[in-house]
A and B are shown apart, each in its own frame.
Chain A
């Protein structure tokens, strides 16, 4: 669609054996957006105001694939910048994956389609 932009990336995140992890998305620049998650092809309800638990207690997440898409709509009159920070915690370390892109025109949409390979 006109004005829309896409960020696509793949990252690796080291998990602890038989331990769930947590995912959180922060949308910046005063823009509005929503995130959806799928773990190994199954949808996960996302907590829009805080971390979302990925996996169950005792579940081994190694060799799993977590798909995330954060769809951001430009609502700002003052900037066309959009940004997203994905934070993964509960694994060997807490890692932040920052992304930013500018939509091509006002009210455009930015999609951040990020794949996390859990290892």
Chain B
């Protein structure tokens, strides 16, 4: 960061701190686009929890073990969080990365489907209540792998093949070539051969020469672009006193997030339907969208969010939020953000102006969803 940038950041930080109380107080209830996006674990979202420990079984037997151990008590398990991706529970030996460059709808749905289950204590001491939530999330379409990613994976393949050439040469020189001759002529058993082969392998894997070769195997973050449609749903039931017989349906949430990425443009839509039997005033359909034009140094975007409650009254009305956002990068991980626009009307205030200036720190490569 240059001295000029450092000064600019300091001034803006001070301005942001001074401006923050008014802006933040005025917007605590406003739904943001990010809050409407398809949640990663719908069951946890509709239940309103962030579990500290989530069971993520990796095999079908792990799934069975998890359920059996939790259901053994004969009641609804308490404070249980579980998430799995059915497609990845078993090995997929026929799926090469080239096969995943493009996906049909069926392939996208099966490869990205995840299921979540959670329980939590939501009652009080005098009236114990256990809530159970189930959810699912999947991508109906998931774009295609970028050409840059395909090129990077192709280069990684070549590099890994070359590292294999080095490895085989080194194990040969370390004595495996001589051992091969004895194996081919039947002067050593396969069991004895394997023991010696593993010893030689360990030596080569620890060698500086081989480690140096493998250090060139850079990580590749596979990136996709094109049209994406992510959908999710979550449902909650309440169980009084932890009894299955006393179950009552409480809440459902449905999300859809279409998006399209091409070049410097990123278009995102959001749709959220919430329906809660115990709090009908909260029932609403929220939808919106954001168009982003971004470069390495700046980004411009427009964001619209509309809230449509199902039961309209004098105090519960349709409202929307429309904001323009400009972002400028002053250092690799520091961005100045300016927002201006109209917020939705909130109870107890007539303020609808959005005018914010602030700093954001982002170390991720992809800043937008």
Instruction: Kindly state whether residue A29 has any CB partner on chain B within 8 Å.
Output: yes
Q: Is the interface of B mostly helix, strand, loop or mixed?
A: helix
Task: Give the complex CA separation of A26 and B96 in angstroms.
Answer: 7
Interface string of B50-64 (1 = CB under 8 A from A): 000000001000000
Q: Closest CB-CB distance, A66 to chain B, in whole Å?
A: 9
Instruction: Kindly state whether residue A22 has any CB partner on chain B within 8 Å.
Output: no
Chain B residues with Cβ below 8 Å from A111 are 167
Q: Contact between B95 and A30 (Cβ–Cβ < 8 Å)?
A: yes
- B202-240: which have CB < 8 Å to A? 205, 211, 214, 217, 219-220, 222
CB-contact partner of B214 in A31, A107, A109, under 8 A: A109
Q: How many residues of A contact B (CB 8 A)?
A: 50
Interface string of A69-83 (1 = CB under 8 A from B): 111110101111101
Q: Contact between A71 and B163 (Cβ–Cβ < 8 Å)?
A: yes
Chain A residues with Cβ below 8 Å from B197 are 8, 10, 113, 115
Chain A residues with Cβ below 8 Å from B211 are 1
Q: Which of B29-37, B130-138, B169-177, B275-283 contacts A (4 or more CB under 8 A)?
A: B169-177
Q: How many residues of B contact A (CB 8 A)?
A: 49
- A95-112: which have CB < 8 Å to B? 98, 100, 102, 107, 109, 111
Q: Contact between A28 and B165 (Cβ–Cβ < 8 Å)?
A: no
Instruction: Kindly state whether residue B100 has any CB partner on chain A within 8 Å.
Output: yes
> A28-B93, A83-B91 are contacts. A65–B157 as well, Cβ < 8 Å?
no
**Interchain pairs with CB closer than 8 A, number:** 146
Chain A residues with Cβ below 8 Å from B220 are 32, 75
Q: Closest CB-CB distance, A75 to chain B, in whole Å?
A: 6
Instruction: Kindly state whether residue A85 has any CB partner on chain B within 8 Å.
Output: yes
CB-contact partner of A38 in B92, B157, B172, B219, under 8 A: B172
Q: Contact between B168 and A43 (Cβ–Cβ < 8 Å)?
A: yes
Q: Contact between A117 and B85 (Cβ–Cβ < 8 Å)?
A: no
Q: Contact between B165 and A43 (Cβ–Cβ < 8 Å)?
A: yes
Instruction: Kindly state whether residue A40 has any CB partner on chain B within 8 Å.
Output: yes
| 16 A–B contacts, CB within 8 A, in A order | A1-B205, A1-B211, A28-B92, A30-B96, A32-B156, A32-B220, A36-B162, A36-B163, A43-B168, A46-B161, A48-B158, A65-B184, A75-B220, A80-B58, A83-B93, A117-B190
Residues of A within 8 A of B (CB): 1, 4, 6, 8-10, 26-38, 40-41, 43, 46, 48, 63-65, 67, 69-73, 75, 77-81, 83, 85, 98, 100, 102, 107, 109, 111, 113, 115, 117
